[in-house]
Amino acid sequence: MNGADIIVRVLEEQGVDTMFGYSGGAILPTYDAIFRHNAEQEAKGKKPIHLVVPATEQGAGFMAAGYARASGRVGVFIVTSGPGATNCVTPIRDCMADSIPVVLICGQVPRPAIGTDAFQEAPVFNIMSSCAKATFLVMDPEKLEATIRTAFDIAVSDRPGPVVVDVPKDVQNWLGTFKGQGQLPLNGYRKRVAALNSSHISKAEGSAFFDMLRKSQRPLLYVGGGVIKSNAAAELRIFAEKYQIPVVTTLHGLGAFDSTHPLSLRMLGMHGTAYANYAVEDCDFLIALGARFDDRVAGSAARFAPNAKNIAHIDIDASEIGKVKNVTWSHVADARSGLIDLLEEGRDFKKDFSPWLNHIDKLRQSHPMNYDRDCESVQPHYVLECLNEITHGEAIISTGVGQHQMWAAQYLDYKYPRTWLTSGSMGTMGFGLPAAIGAQLACPGRLVINIDGDGSLRMNLGDMETVTNYGLPVKIILLNNQGDGMVRQWQKLYFAERLCASEKRSHKKDFVKSAEADGFEFSQRVSNNRSVKETLRAFVEFPGPAFLEVMVDPDAGVYPMVGPGMSYKEMVTGNYIPARAEEVALEIEVPDLF
| Residue 184 φ/ψ, nearest 5 degrees | -70, 145
Distances (CA, A) of 262 to 16, 238, 249, 259, 342: 39, 14, 14, 8, 22
What span, in angstroms and rounded, lies between the C-alpha atoms of 422 and 412? 14
CB neighbour class for 396 (10 Å; exposed up to 12, middle 13-18, buried from 19) = buried
Q: Tell me how far apart the alpha carbons of residues 104 and 147 are, in angstroms, rounded to a whole number.
A: 12
In this structure, the chain runs to a length of 594
Q: What is the dihedral of CA 407, 409, 410, 415, to 10 degrees?
A: 140
List Cα–Cα distances, 442 to 153, 420, 445, in angstroms. Answer: 20, 14, 9
Question: How many other CB atoms are there within 10 angstroms of residue 17's CB atom?
Answer: 16
Active site residue 486: yes
Paired strand residues for 547:
476, 523
Give the 3-state secondary structure percentages of the chain, helix then strand then coil, rounded to 5. Answer: 40, 15, 45
Catalytic residue, from 14, 41, 120, 244: name it: 120
d(C-alpha 94, C-alpha 325), whole Å:
24
Which whole-number Å values give the CA distances from 76 to 7, 61, 369, 440, in the listed order?
12, 8, 39, 15
Q: Is 169 a catalytic residue?
A: yes
Distance CA 296, CA 223 (A): 14
User: C-alpha 141: how far from its chain's center?
Assistant: 35
Q: Which of 19, 128, 459, 486 is catalytic?
A: 486
The DSSP secondary structure of 379-411, one letter per residue, reads: PHHHHHHHHHHHHTT-SEEEE-SSHHHHHHHHH
φ/ψ (deg, to 5) at 97: -65, -30
Residue 221's contacts (CB-CB under 8 Å, 6 or more residues apart) are 236, 239, 240, 245, 246, 247, 248, 257, 287, 289
Which residues does 224 contact at the CB level (< 8 Å), separation at least 6?
249, 250, 252, 253, 256, 288, 289, 290, 291, 292
Nearest Cα to 152, choosing from 333, 11, 9, 272? Answer: 11
Q: Which of 35, 119, 178, 495 is catalytic?
A: 119
- Measured between alpha carbons, how far is 457 from 467 in angstroms, rounded to an integer? 14
Q: What are the φ and ψ backbone dihedral angles of 238, each rounded to 5 degrees?
A: -60, -45
At residue 504, what is the residue type? Answer: K
Options 19, 20, 57, 58, the catalytic residue:
57
Q: Which of 19, 145, 152, 169 is catalytic?
A: 169
Q: Across-strand partners of 329?
A: 312
C-beta pairs of 532-537 under 8 Å, 24+ apart in sequence: 532/378, 532/382, 532/383, 532/386, 533/386, 533/389, 536/383, 536/386, 536/387, 536/390, 537/390
CA distance 448 to 454: 19
Active site members: 57, 119-120, 169, 486
